[in-house]
A and B are shown apart, each in its own frame.
Chain A
């Protein structure tokens, strides 16, 4: 699903150049649930940004679902993001004046799906995350966990190939975190490829594979025995 070969990225900081990614090689198959770990400055966010086409690598190859991703202008990147990727952020990033269902329907709007179908699909995914009864509430009326569920429903609504989650439990207490991870595991069980950036070991343990980044290189890449979050959720 995702193939990365010899990926380099550096940032210019004034006269100095900061080499963040130093030749990464990575391959993720369909249906994997991968945790990317590392301390701050290890390059994990940069990697996620490149995977999310929010940023572009200096050199190296990035192939997503067989499509080489390079030389993207903003318009093309927007289309690929819409088609291939679903984002889940630490701070939820819901649009605060739109109700839950409107937030979920938004990526479908950019796919030019017609209105009725948008409503229908958005409701389906809200139901999937267990928020059917909260569909017409504004984000300000939802708890943190509920917001993140809406965000997950939104990421799923466009039916992307890959879900990218950036510290998705960072703003949640541990009980809510486990509930969210339970949902992520369920979605993964249905075959969706998911990449989770986290620095919390217990969250990482709930994935199937853990990649450790340090100073811009992969220092450890191992498949682990998945801890089911459902065991923590009553």
Chain B
């Protein structure tokens, strides 16, 4: 296999039979190229898909109150449900095992003014864990912290675009005072968010401060929580059910009332969507395998042709003392060499095209950062090489076993 003479024989054969070499190499290169590009584009689709769900932590529940749709325990239907601070405390106490972090959310909007600039923004009054749940990235300063909560501090964190709108590109907002709805707040941090412009036009403040300024109320609009990921998908679903049951009991809601409390379970949503993405991937794999099979058939045909063409030459070699093993070895080693090199060429070309594509087709075709795992492509190449060899082996063995005299008579 590694003798220099054998390689010299092979290089000579390749050099003197360029068309044959080109045909078999081209088939393999094309097969691998198409496989790489298709598979990479499939992965790109999946990447785009994933991106939609990576903006928030996937182990979150958000719970919103609604209106009852059934009378229950003497209450009329159509009663508006309200969450209060004690709901947070009770969940913390009674679901300590499941719970990771929990935060109330109070949403409102107000006009923010700084010197001559003003604009209307959505404001969320929250507790510090909210930042992690939204995967907010702090660019400057800090996020709302426990100290702000305890001290009812009039500190706010603003989105990157809020800073751009009000402070311009050159001025830093951190440490400045901003008039929001007639109250002066100090900006303690600026954040960015991957989820788009709307997210970066948000303002966050401590919920305790908001409640104090709102006449000491303890109402909250929404509860967001993350659960301990150790409980897994099934655990999350169980937590989902028992939490709904718990809150319904607490707020005197009929157990089968679907409108009084809305619980949005990201785990469930992600699960459903990932299923779709996986089916997409399956389709891509199927197409890829189809391409590979077509490639295998192509290389098989060429190998049969190659051996047929070489029958006479192999007969001469046998008459001169070549053993069947050395004849088979010669044919196979050549085909392995060609298919491997060609496979590599196809691989590099395919990868090149994919990296050229990059994020260029993200907007129109929903393909972001297409790419293929190197191991998958190498495996595909190996499959092609293997079948090329197998396809070559059968006729090569046949040629090696033909009596030289028969092969030589074959004009």
Contacts and interface: CB of A to CB of B under 8 A. Distances in A.
Nearest to B406: A54
Nearest to A87: B319
Interface string B308-336: 00001101111111111110000000000
Interface stretch (A22-30, A104-112, A192-200): A104-112
A36 to B, nearest CB: 16
A82 B17 CA distance: 27
B321 A158 contact: yes
Interface stretch (B34-42, B136-144, B167-175, B396-404): B396-404
A84 to B, nearest CB: 10
A110 B16 contact: no
Contact of B320 (A49, A55, A97, A158): A158
Given A55-B403, A98-B12, A75 B320 contact: no
A78 B13 contact: no
A89 interface: yes
A82 B320 CA distance: 6
A165 B389 CA distance: 37
Contact of B321 (A55, A79, A94, A98): A79
Contacts of B323: 74-75, 78-79, 110
Interface in B354-411: 400-401, 403-405, 408, 411
Contact of A95 (B5, B313, B321, B405): B313
A93 B405 contact: no
Interface residues of A, number: 28
Contacts of A95: 313, 316-317
Contacts of A136: none
Q: Which of A94, A106, A154 has the most CB of B within 10 A?
A: A106
A49 to B, nearest CB: 5
Nearest to A114: B5
Contact of A49 (B9, B325, B405): B405
Contacts of A110: 317, 320-323, 326
Interface in A170-203: none
Contacts of A55: 403, 405
Contacts of B17: 97
Contacts of B408: 89, 91, 93
B319 A54 contact: yes
A98 B11 CA distance: 12
A81 B316 contact: no
B324 A109 contact: no
Contacts of A98: 12, 16
Contacts of B9: 109
Interface string B1-23: 00011000100110011000000
Interface of B: 4-5, 9, 12-13, 16-17, 312-313, 315-326, 400-401, 403-405, 408, 411
26 contacts: A49-B403, A54-B319, A54-B404, A54-B405, A55-B403, A55-B405, A74-B324, A74-B400, A75-B324, A78-B321, A78-B322, A79-B321, A81-B321, A82-B321, A83-B321, A94-B316, A95-B317, A106-B320, A107-B321, A110-B321, A110-B322, A110-B323, A115-B4, A115-B5, A158-B320, A158-B321
What 9 A-B pairs are tightest by C-beta distance, nearest first? A82-B321, A97-B16, A110-B321, A54-B405, A78-B323, A107-B320, A75-B323, A74-B324, A93-B316
